[in-house]
Chains A and B, each alone.
Chain A
Amino acid sequence: MRRKHPVIRQLLIDAAAAGMALIIFALFHHVLPREQQSLNVQIVNPAAAAVNETVTAAGTEENKTAAAEEMPADEAAAEATRTAAAEGNAFRPEVRTATASAGTSDAGRRGGPGRSSSGRQKNSGGKDGMNSKGGSALAESSGSTDEAAPETDDTPLAEKFADQFTETVVQTENSYSSPDISVTVTEVNEGNLTYYVADIYVRDITCFQTALAEGTYGSGFRDSITGMAALNNALLAVNGDYYGNTNEGVVIRNGVVYRANATNCDVCVLYYDGTMKVMPGSSFSVEEAVADGAWQAWTFGPALLDTDGSTISSFSSTSRIISANPRTAIGYYEPGHYCLVVVDGRGESAGITLPQLSQLFYDLGCTAAYNLDGGNSSIMVWGNEIINNPSGGGRESSDALLIAEVKSYE
């Protein structure tokens, strides 16, 4: 028998060896946790840098006056921050005028961004539409932290979204508002499709955070989204771009550049000034991102809306990727106003194709939108509970997007 089929026997041995090679490859490429070499460049908020310069200049001038000598440095800095905020430097919505104006012009056509955007949803669940299985932890603690409203700076966003923020913490099953954050989570059921929309307003972009699994940058590190949310006291969390799957791509997290190897994948950059830009990998420049004050950057994609905010019907990806799947994506209306969408799939909910997801963000009124890791990774955590139905029970991820308070309102 052996002599009759020597070639088959040899091929079987080769196949076994190939299997072993694949297992070893998977261990090194994906499974074994190992820290990666990181650029570790801290990006400075350009507005804060401008404020510091103002403080330095003011300090030099004030040295000539006796009054300035009496003013402590931190007080001077706080005063300069207030001045800068009042002058519109702390948040600069006018900086990305191209994006912002596109949104404004679209707003006329589609009803405009802001709270009214929820009225433009195909099926705006609103508070009534929210499935009560999520947010119970928040609901239980409702009213417990609404004392001693802090003194707030009047940033342009605070004025712009004044009706979204509250002086005290106000929590319901599906919403949360404070002086810095406003989040409303809506579950939408449309036939065999279920998705969750978190409408987010932040007065301070540092409330829009990301977390790395095990707090470490590298490959093979994984943690549950609930774990990362709990560790960072997040109100809301969704999975990120699973950066740890590869050594390529742009990774900027909470103002730190970890990796800047742009690929041909689209890159999504969120800046300190609250603007969000989605660009092809070939257009990304880390020097430019640092100079412009990038706060977060993800590499997954693709972009879900065109540069003018219109839908995209054709994607250059494989049919398996384009077809109906569970999805996680981020949408941008204007500086300070975003949405996170998680679509259930491969179960009672069929999932959504990329062109349908593009249409969904268009209908929501977003001016830019970006697809994040999907499939079994798609998870939304609200009030420390997973509120969607992750495909296959979900899986751990290497990173998460979080909405969390940076100030204490206890």
Chain B
Amino acid sequence: MSKATALVSHQTVILGMVFLVFLVLDQFNPMMNFIDNQISRWMLAAFCLGGISLGILRRYEKRD
């Protein structure tokens, strides 16, 4: 596994955990707007990009 893949894997796991916590908190207090605020949107974008990058890197590594 390349360093890039390892880094993106960590990033994806970390952001996944963060969003799981947000989902739980949102159940308790949706007015706090954990999921749909500006910071969360940037984190969600990073999460999506990480997921896509990880998928591409894994496929690329598999081909090698």
Contact residues of A with B, CB < 8 Å? 10-11, 13-15, 17-18, 21-22, 25, 28-30, 242, 245-248, 265, 300, 317-318, 320-321, 373, 375
Contacts of B15 in A (CB 8 A): 18, 21
16 contacts between A and B (CB under 8 A): A11-B13, A14-B13, A17-B10, A18-B14, A18-B15, A18-B18, A18-B21, A21-B14, A21-B43, A25-B18, A245-B31, A246-B33, A247-B33, A318-B27, A320-B27, A373-B31
Residues on the A chain within 8 Å of B21, using CB: 18, 22
Neighbour of B39 across the interface among A29, A318, A321, CB < 8 A: A29
Q: Is B28 an interface residue (CB 8 A)?
A: yes
Q: Interface on chain A toward B: helix, strand, loop, or mixed SS?
A: helix
The 5 closest A-B pairs by CB, nearest first: A18-B17, A246-B33, A14-B13, A18-B14, A17-B14
Q: How far is the CB of A20 from chain B (nearest CB, A)?
A: 9
Extra pairs beyond A29-B34, A248-B33 (19, CB < 8 Å):
A10-B10, A13-B10, A14-B10, A18-B13, A18-B18, A21-B14, A21-B15, A22-B21, A25-B18, A25-B40, A30-B32, A242-B31, A245-B33, A246-B33, A246-B37, A247-B33, A247-B37, A248-B36, A318-B30
With a cutoff of 8 Å between Cβ atoms, the chain B residues found around residue A13 in the complex are: 10
B38 adjacent to chain A (CB < 8 Å): yes
Give Cα A248–Cα B43 distance, bound, in whole angstroms. Answer: 18
Residues of B within 8 A of A (CB): 10, 13-15, 17-18, 21, 27-34, 36-40, 43
**Complex Cα gap A17–B29 (Å):** 24
* Residues B30 and A321 in contact, CB atoms below 8 Å apart: yes
Q: How far is the CA of A317 from the CA of B32 in the complex (A)?
A: 14
Task: Please indicate the chain A residues that have their CB under 8 angstroms from the CB of B33 in the complex.
Answer: 245-248
B-chain residues with CB within 8 Å of residue A25 when the two chains form the complex? 18, 39-40, 43
Tell me if A28 and B17 are in contact (CB < 8 A).
no
Find chain B residues with CB under 8 A from A28 CB. 39
Residue numbers in A under 8 Å from B17 (CB-CB)? 14-15, 18
Residue of A nearest to B34 (CB): A29
Closest chain B CB from A110 CB (angstroms): 31
- Could you tell me the distance in whole angstroms from the C-beta of B7 to the nearest C-beta in chain A? 12
Given contacts A14-B10, A14-B17, A17-B14, are A248 and B28 in contact (CB under 8 A)?
no
Residue pair B31, A246 in contact (C-beta under 8 Å) = yes
Specify which chain B residues have a CB less than 8 angstroms from the CB of A321 in the assembled complex: 30
Given A15-B17, A25-B39, A29-B37, A245-B10 contact (CB < 8 Å): no
Shortest distance between the CB of A167 and any CB in chain B (Å): 43
Cβ contacts under 8 Å, A10 to chain B: 10
**CA distance in complex: A317, B29 (Å):** 10
Name the CB-closest residue of A to B20.
A18
A11 to B17, CA, bound (A): 10
Rounded to whole angstroms, the CA-CA distance of A257 and B43 in the bound complex is 30
A31 to chain B, nearest CB (A): 12
Q: Give the docked Cα–Cα distance between A28 and B34 (Å).
A: 12
User: Complex Cα distance A375/B30, Å?
Assistant: 13
B42 nearest CB across to chain A (Å) = 10
A248 to B10, CA, bound (A): 31
| Distance of B45 from chain A, by nearest CB (Å) | 15
How far, in Å, is A307 (CB) from chain B's closest CB?
A: 23
